[in-house]
Amino acid sequence: MFLTVYFKEISLLILYAVIQSVIFHFPQAWPLAFVSLVPLFFLMYYCAGPKEALTVGYIAGLLQTAGTFYWILHVTKAGYIAMCVYLGTFTALYALLAYNAVQVLALAGSPGFRWAWLKILTLSSLWVLIEFIRSNIPIMRFPWALLGYSQWKNLPFIQSADLWGAYGISFLLALSAAAVFAAWMIVLRYSRGQMRLAEYIGQLVLMVAFPLILIGANVTYGVGAIKAIQASVTPQTPSCRMAVVQGNIPQDQKWDPRIQDMIYRKYDGLSRNVIMDAPDMVIWPETAFPGFWEVEPELAQRTGRLARDMRAELLIGAPTYREAEHGVQKMNSVLHISKTGAELRRHHKIRLVPFGEYVPFFQFLRQYFETIGHFTPGTVMTLFRTPVSWGFGVTPDNRPRAFSALVCFEDIFPDFCRRYVQKGSSMLINVTNDAWFKNSTGPYQHAQSSVFRAVENRVPVVRAANTGLSCYIDTTGRVVDSVKDKGKEIMIAGFKTFNVTLNHRPAFYTRHGDWLILVLLTLFILTHRLYTARLNENPSDDTD
């Protein structure tokens, strides 16, 4: 009986959750993102009030999270449940605040609908503001699977991220969905004979013209940007040869001391296979070094000999110890080893994974989370200076070229990465261990972030992952090449050398950051007030 009465609502809940999950699991499903919010709008339309919208929105968000992040089950079942419960609140908040705007858009054919087009701006602005809040809440910030990331293979569409970041792409998608919902309501009203043809055409054009123009301009900009970047690459453009090694060490074996030597020999052997490619640098993933660097001096010495034998620099992910005032601290680090085997510089991961590498909030909770890594975050955004022998030379403004190392999920934070480029980084290198996700779409969802960091800042991104996706992303966001074995990129061992083009040019987003958020907050407030003011001038307009 329950299913029969609420069949429409249940169907919309499932449809919303499926579409919102599919667009992040299958790159070819990117067109669905333009209508992915439509089922949610209809759910809100059928709700009796804001409180019911809040409840329905929470259920929708919970189901969406469960489908999008199913791979967290490979890491922790309790964490998966907590993630669903936590992230569901943001969809609930959106549904609560968007409820009235949806009801206004449903007034197709009424006199008040003349001003309802303002509400598509309200809905799209609010969606991005909620994404921004989710991405920047201290400690629990989670800018993963932003709506815009669904377009990571739609290169012309995402080029404008160098102007307004990934949030700008999310805004366009939300705007499209709001316009589709409004247009649908207009068509329904006309099909029921409740509108004259002239009104039907006029309101339909009013509702879809602005989104179509904006989306068309965005694609035009993207096509032009890609052509301009491709034309800027000449034989004189600086480049370097970067090799990545993908060890494919299962997570349940990484810290087994009985096979420590076997793990090291695997990375050593794969690295020596790269010698024929004559790389400038060989990169190992996050914590690829099987043990703490200071505790394994023999392995550290072997690493130095490897660099000398290869005549190439090494960038190695390794856990390290650091002396501090209150004792020794454990750090998740990246070490830069010279061609002579000497350590040049090291960087300590700054953004640690809560409940993965440390226990947030209260120190006394540590006793209940003995399996947590208890790492200490770094405090310095390290720049690795590149030697002249690499052929990097200097940047267009005569500064020595440098690169930055992003450890694990640090590449998912737009503003964090932007600050590295502001400091002078010409290339971002992401070392990560996605073995936690096993054979799932988790590694690809992680790589979506790297694609946007490349476009936002117009810098190349090189990824070295334990189980994939290890790849080179150029400044247009194109995945140029990756480590493969018989067509597979995930859960395979291998290596690949990339000829990385260093054609970085300062981007508007790099200089100005998330300026769009302030604009959308202003737009959200103004559209609400303007619509209210118009209704106060003409009270009879607010009729169905």
Among all residues, which ones are annotated catalytic?
A: 286, 349, 408
User: What's the DSSP call for residue 248?
Assistant: -
Decide if 482 contacts 451 (C-beta within 8 A).
Answer: no
Angle, CA of 491, 497 and 498, to the nearest 5°: 110
Token pair 């989306």 in the structure block, residue: 215
**CA pseudo-torsion sign 7, 9, 12, 18:** negative
Provide the residue type at 48 as one letter: A
- Tokens (6 digits) for 335: 């070490």
Alpha-carbon distance 89 to 125, whole Å?
Answer: 18
- At 385, which helix (H) or strand (E)? strand 384-385
Q: How are strands ordered across the β-sheet holding 313-324?
A: 343-348, 327-337, 313-324, 281-283, 239-246, 494-501
Alpha-carbon distance 525 to 300, whole Å?
Answer: 58
Pairing of strands 384-385, 402-407: antiparallel
Q: What is the 3-state secondary structure (H, E, C) of 251-264?
A: CCCCCCHHHHHHHH
Alpha-carbon distance 139 to 300, whole Å?
Answer: 34
Residue 158 CB-half CA count within 13 A: 29
Smallest CA-to-CA distance from 122 within 526, 534, 537 is with: 526
Q: Three-class SS of residue 142?
A: coil
Alpha-carbon distance 144 to 166, whole Å?
Answer: 11
